[in-house]
Structure 1
Amino acid sequence: MPPTHLLYLHGFRSSPLSAKAQRMAAHLAQHHPHTHWWCPQLPPSPQAAMALVVEGLRDWPRNRMVVVGSSLGGFYASWVAHRYACPSVLLNPAVDPARDLAHYIGEQSHWHRPEDRFEFRAEYIAELQALDVRGLPATGPELAIIAKGDELLDWREMTARYPRAQTVLLEGGDHALSDFEAHLPTIDRFLRSL
């Protein structure tokens, strides 16, 4: 039975206004109108972000939920999937954000609302390390959509991180997966196969 509840986790400096989140929400509304959709605005603190998610998932059916995550949201999605033993869809997922985001400590702005600024603090690096589930076996089916043309993350690192995932490896593409619409049928097939 396909999932009845879908959690979408956006990436660093992103929001529920991201193109992928908006396309996914529209796709669900059109093709899966009974699926419960939640895409929260994640706070900059990884610990606070996952506390928000855990609280929001309190009443969700564990055996009927799926998590989708993009970039940093993909890293978070792996943590959620491990905790809840649910399927996950990973879109150019961050593999080692504790390493990569160390360069972003300080004041940042959101992509979709540049006037909204936030502080990415040094202590968030340790919070990211505490959420790292690399090396632990997957507890649910995984679909990874990875672009070799990702300008921010190394596709080799992403594919190595998810060796057991059903992987769609794109020859080109970009970090934003600008052609995300074309991948919705693949995600649908994955969800129907669960």
Structure 2
Amino acid sequence: MSTDKVADTEQCKKTILYLHGFLSSNQSAKAVETINYVKEHHSDIDIIAPLLPSRPDEVVKLLNVLLKQYRTSLIGFIGSSLGGYFATWCAAQTSKPAVLINPAVKPYALLDDYMGWHQNPYTKDEFEVTADFKQKIKSLEVESVAELKILALLQTKDETLDYKEAEAKFAANELEVIEGGNHAFEHYSDYLPQIIKFLNSSTC
């Protein structure tokens, strides 16, 4: 490969941020499947899957750092569950597309059932869900999403979140409601070609 071609390849490198959910990690099954799929099929794309902190104020700090760091190569976001909520916020901040996998629409409304101390089963990090924690999550809500480029993938048998909330929230966006499934999103790997195609619309 010539020097010019190497330079072109580096210049055209693209970045997607994958954001995991609550009490999950960047080593979750979907995160690993996404990374492996992109490595195999899209050599021009980097998947950045950060380990999100347990506390929402620290999440915001990290996301702001990442948005700045990858601002010239970022083409979009993938977010699962609470990560979908964060991905929606990122999409609003950057005007970049986002794919949401069984996204949480109003996670702050669910936190009353999670008040108290928790341990992330992946990282063993311990943290406390408080009223302040809940308010900080609420502060990231994006009220109007109609103008954002979003693909929401929902499974009707999600045992954690009511898919109808996301169906209503993202009615003006690209939306796919799949009968059955679960919160982890069954057969996720089958949707990866569609997900990457949706995000990989920019050219260089």
- TM-score, with length taken from structure 1: 0.90
How many Å separate the matches in 2 of 1:105 and 1:112? 20
Q: Counterparts of 1:27-46 in structure 2 under 5 Å?
A: 27-46=37-56
Aligned-residue CA RMSD in angstroms?
Answer: 1.9
Q: 2:189 & 2:13 partners in 1: Cα distance?
A: 20
Superposition deviation, residue 25 in structure 1: 0.5
Structure 1 SS opposite 2:18: strand
| Percent of aligned pairs with the same amino acid | 35
Residue 110 of structure 2 is matched in structure 1 by 100
Match of 2:176, SS state, is strand
TM-aligned CA deviation for residue 23 of structure 1: 0.3
2:85 is paired with a residue of what secondary structure?
Answer: helix
- Kept in 2, the 8 Å contact 1:62–1:85? The answer is no
Distance in 2 separating the partners of 1:56 and 1:6: 11
Cα distance in structure 1, aligned partners of 2:133 and 2:33 = 30
User: What displacement does 1:110 show?
Assistant: 1.9
Alpha-carbon deviation of 1:98? 0.7
Corresponding residue of 1:152: 160
The alpha-carbon deviation at position 93 of structure 1 amounts to 0.3
**Aligned match of 1:123 in 129, 132, 140?**
132
Kept in 2, the 8 Å contact 1:95–1:158? The answer is: yes
CA distance in 2, matches of 1:150, 1:83: 28
Aligned residue pairs, count: 191
Please say if residues 153 and 175 of structure 1, whose CA atoms lie closer than 8 Å, have aligned partners that are also in contact: yes
Structure with higher Rg: it is 2
Q: Is the 8 A contact 1:142 1:164 kept in 2?
A: no
What is aligned with 2:191?
183
Q: Higher relative CO (CA 8 A, sep ≥ 6), structure 1 or 2?
A: 1
Conserved? CA contact 2:75–2:199, under 8 Å: no
Please say if residues 81 and 139 of structure 1, whose CA atoms lie closer than 8 Å, have aligned partners that are also in contact. no
Greater CA deviation, 9-18 or 100-109? 100-109
Q: CA deviation at 1:116?
A: 4.0
Corresponding position of 1:164:
172
Change (3 A) 1:121 1:132: same
Q: Distance in 2 between matches of 1:139 and 1:65?
A: 17
- How far residue 62 of structure 1 moved from its aligned partner, in angstroms, is 5.6
Q: 2:121 and 2:152 mapped to 1: Cα distance? A: 24
Q: What amino acid is the match of 1:83? A: Q
Query: Residues 55-109 of structure 1: CA distance to partner in whole angstroms, max 9, x if unpaired?
Result: 1221323674201100000001110100111100000000111111221122212
TM-superposed CA distance for 1:3, in Å, is: 8.3
Q: TM-score scaled to structure 2, two decimals? A: 0.86
Deviates more, 1:117-126 or 1:139-148: 117-126
Q: Which amino acid aligns with 1:157?
A: E
Instruction: Give the superposition deviation at 1:140.
Output: 3.3
- The CA deviation at 1:139 is 4.5
Which runs of no fewer than 5 residues in structure 2 stay unpaired? Answer: 1-11
